[in-house]
Chains A and B, each alone.
Chain A
Amino acid sequence: MAAHAFANPVFDAQRVFRAAMNALSRPGTLQTLDCDIAPPASLPAELAALALTLADHETPLWLDATLAGSREVTDYLRFHTGTPITANPREAHFALVSDPALCPSLHSFARGTPDYPDRSTTMFVHTSRISVGDGLILSGPGIRGTATMSIDPLPPAFAREWIANRALFPCGVDVLFTANGMVTGLPRTTMMEAR
């Protein structure tokens, strides 16, 4: 079947946004990404949904090596969102990572400035499995007490880099992890430790 974007752009984008909003405001929970899209084979549908919902001509997008190397993927994203695709992670508003192993260091992305901490990259990372319970202990705004969460696999050295990212607050990057039609959020405020 040919690649297509949202069947119903207004309502699909609204549902995906609410999932992303709930994910970021309630770390440690899973939100369902519910929409009808068919992106090119190498672009996970979850990442495509988030990109179609949030990216446009104002938001340079960074792609990992697999995605950037696929003409279908870049054509699809350019056609449906009008987003400029950048090779420089520092100027990216959004970053799409289709495989955690391909995720560069968090430090390579924009982290904002003390005056404008919002001028940072939001990363969408697709992984194999996300589930509530086990693995990571999360705390911070959006979480009552602590929450437990398993993200498998995490990008290399992520746990260590996340501590450094947290220390940059109010600067830093935010990450949304996706897997199996679900999304979970890791805003820069979340403290994370392995159990």
Chain B
Amino acid sequence: MNEHAQATGYNFAYLDEQTKRMIRRAILKGIAIPGYQVPFASREMPMPYGWGTGGVQVTAAILGPDDVLKVIDQGSDDTTNAVSIRKFFARTAGVATTTKTVEATVIQTRHRVPETALRSDQVLVYQVPIPEPLRYLEPRETETRKLHALGEYGLMHVKLYEDIARHGHVATTYAYPVEVAGRYVMDPSPVPKFDNPKIDDCEALQLFGAGREKRIYAVPPHTKVRSLDFEDHPFRVQTFKDPCALCAAEGVYLDEVVLDDRGGRMFVCSDTDYCEERREAGHRGHLAGDDPLSPVGRGRVAEGDRVREEHKSDSASPSPRPSPHRGEGEEALP
């Protein structure tokens, strides 16, 4: 018997053993059929739908006492969702938690893939709102199931084509559909398309949990994950004109942070751990100041919270629509 289980009155990691077995079976099927959404008997969790109930159940089913858990919410370790899920498992499982990507063995994420390359001893668990990539194109589950069974993804190509017809380019910037291992089209969860190349041929196992929609799916390590595109409109990721204002990183995904009510703004790493590591290593952006924990640096966290809270109320709904980033410049090949 685990001391934390005794303290809280719950089983280790909250879920009962029968539930864990059921989830574990779904995870094994998901691994065997990459990109296929395995139905599972999602439980009610002590948090509302939209706050990561799917990810939490997957994490609870794989977590052991020796694991080190990291939780991020749009790249950040210090927002409400990330902090409360980390505390939840520290309390019900007694596991060590960390904000450092390199120290973690299990990383639960909402809408980002860490900038630091993942290792083979790590598992990345995604929180997924709508797992069905075809859902907005075909509302009937019976039909989308048939389309997946037949490998019939013409609808998705039509959608991407309509983007081109209307905007001159594929305007989908997040939850950008991917084809996994040459078969299933999968929603990579609402990560920015910037992160799609990191899902491809990843060292770590990637598991996806959708609590409300009751689906689990997986991408095994070293699996081909191709973002859908056209020969004359190849897939491109976002690029940013300026480096991170705090750590001067380039080639990373940046968040816009409003500084005042006169149009002042800065662009900083969305991955807070990556940004902090770089500042500790002495990298300085143009707004960083001299001290790694300068008032600007601390101010950013509070400021960032507010901005991300706005994102959350936006994207917790079934149809997340983050506002487009003004800092995004030309798109570049991955």
Contact = CB atoms under 8 A, between A and B. Distances in A.
B254 interface: no
B221 A25 contact: yes
A10 B2 contact: yes
Contact of B11 (A10, A26, A55, A56): A10
Interface string B6-40: 00000110000110111011111101111010110
A17 B32 contact: no
B61 to A, nearest CB: 8
Contacts, number: 108
Nearest to A8: B1
A195 interface: no
Contacts of B221: 25-26, 142, 144
Interface in A120-173: 120, 122, 140-144, 169-170
Interface stretch (B142-150, B159-167, B273-281): B142-150
Given A10-B11, A14-B64, A169-B183, A21 B149 contact: no
A118 B24 contact: no
A31 interface: no
A21 B223 CA distance: 16
Interface string A57-80: 011000000000000000000000
Nearest to A82: B18
Contact of B24 (A15, A17, A25, A114): A17
A117 interface: yes
B interface, how many residues as a size bin?
Answer: 35 or more
Contacts of A170: 33, 36, 183-184
A188 B36 CA distance: 13
A interface, how many residues as a size bin?
Answer: 35 or more
B22 A115 contact: no
A22 B145 CA distance: 28
B146 A25 contact: no
A141 B62 contact: no
B220 A56 contact: no
A40 B278 CA distance: 57
Given A53-B24, A115-B145, A170-B183, A24 B150 contact: no
Nearest to A93: B25
Interface string B200-236: 0100010000000000001011111000000000000
Contacts of B218: 25
Interface in B163-199: 181, 183-184
Interface of A: 9-11, 13-15, 17-18, 20-22, 24-26, 53-56, 58-59, 93, 113-115, 117-118, 120, 122, 140-144, 169-170, 174, 187-189
